[in-house]
Amino acid sequence: MKIVVIGGSGLIGSKLVKNLRQLDHDVVAASPSSGVNTITGVGLAAGLTGAQVVVDVTNAPSWEDKAVLEFFETSTRNLLAAGAAAGVGHHVALSVVGTERLLQSGYFRAKMAQENLIKASKVPYTIVRATQFFEFVNGIAQSATDGQTVRLPPALMQPIVSDDVAAALVDVTVGVPVNGTVELAGPEPIRLDELVRRFLSAKQDARQVVADVHARYFGIELNDQSLTPGDNPRIGPTHFADWLSRS
Ligand SMILES: NC(=O)c1ccc[n+]([C@@H]2O[C@H](COP(=O)([O-])OP(=O)(O)OC[C@H]3O[C@@H](n4cnc5c(N)ncnc54)[C@H](OP(=O)(O)O)[C@@H]3O)[C@@H](O)[C@H]2O)c1
């Protein structure tokens, strides 16, 4: 199959490209650095010629409310139009578990807009919603740091390592479109404050994590349902402790 991975140079994209090439698919790793830009449209039509599947694992360069919404709306519109013109039979996109519960944040309003555009288009699709990546825990800590204190709500979550996301995306990419949403999560539920505490401790980072039910997560009030998957997620096997000890 010819498969175009948009965002093929990113954290998930680069792993997905490698996995799909190992299965002998004809894979194009597309991103601005390789001459394909979903915002300007440069290289898009040529890149998609003959493609059966497009996987969108892009991310926005700015997460400022207006910029991120413009990015995901424009990028998704351009990609769906180019896909339809090229006769693409499956549009796969990576989104986030709980997006509709996280709309206090501009980032998630943008991801919701991306999902809605995909659902409204005529191109068959699968939306893959993952929980937070282990690799993102550092960013969570940074966002909640004030001096030597990291203040976070003790909300339940079920994070997953990027390798397991990329592995699941391979199966979705070579499978049939479900015209619906598939959820991915890690093997164990953990509270957000405890996850960051374990991460900082393993990195010998002296910052103290304080659990505060009123603290916000990227501007969002969380409860135990906000970040956790529904009844039937696909589970990535890698445990946080194993990832921490090897990374
Ligand atoms: N972080 C999490 O915990 C988490 C959890 C669930 C879902 N997700 C979702 O996972 C997706 C991928 O995240 P990631 O961390 O793998 O992203 P990333 O490492 O930041 O990579 C982003 C990719 O997007 C490309 N890109 C940026 N602007 C582009 C444009 N105009 N045209 C085409 N490509 C463009 C980049 O290309 P260049 O390298 O050329 O700039 C890069 O390949 C995101 O949509 C995110 O919402 C993330």
Q: Can you tell me whether residue 58 is helix, strand or coil?
A: coil
CA–CA separation, 103 and 244 (whole Å):
30
pTM (2 d.p.): 0.98
Measured by CA distance, the residue closest to atom 36 of ligand 1 is 7
- For 145-190, the pLDDT digits (tens) are 999 999 999 999 999 999 999 999 999 999 999 999 999 999 999 9
pLDDT the model gives residue 216 = 97
Tell me which residues have their CB closer than 6 angstroms to ligand 1: 6-7, 9-13, 31-33, 36-39, 57-59, 61, 75, 94, 96, 111, 130, 132-133, 136
pLDDT the model gives residue 52 = 98
Query: Beta-carbon neighbour count of residue 87 at 10 Å?
Result: 12
pLDDT the model gives residue 7 = 98
pLDDT the model gives residue 84 = 98
What the block records as the tokens of 58 is: 């892009």
Q: Is the dihedral of CA 110, 114, 117, 119 positive or negative?
A: negative
**Are the C-beta atoms of residues 59 and 12 closer than 8 Å to each other?**
no
Measured by CA distance, the residue closest to atom 15 of ligand 1 is 11
What the block records as the tokens of 242 is: 């194993």
| Beta-strand runs (E) in 1-69 | 2-6, 26-30, 53-56
Alpha carbon of 11 to ligand 1 centroid (Å): 7
**Are the C-beta atoms of residues 80 and 116 closer than 8 Å to each other?**
no
Supply the angle between the helices 106-120 and 65-86 in degrees, to the nearest 10. Answer: 20
User: Which residue is it, tokens 């199959």?
Assistant: 1
**Are the C-beta atoms of residues 163 and 75 closer than 8 Å to each other?**
no
CA–CA separation, 64 and 10 (whole Å):
20
Alpha carbon of 60 to ligand 1 centroid (Å): 6
CA-wise closest residue to 207 among 129, 152, 161, 166: 152
Q: Can you tell me whether residue 163 is helix, strand or coil?
A: helix
- pLDDT under 70 in the chain at which residues? none
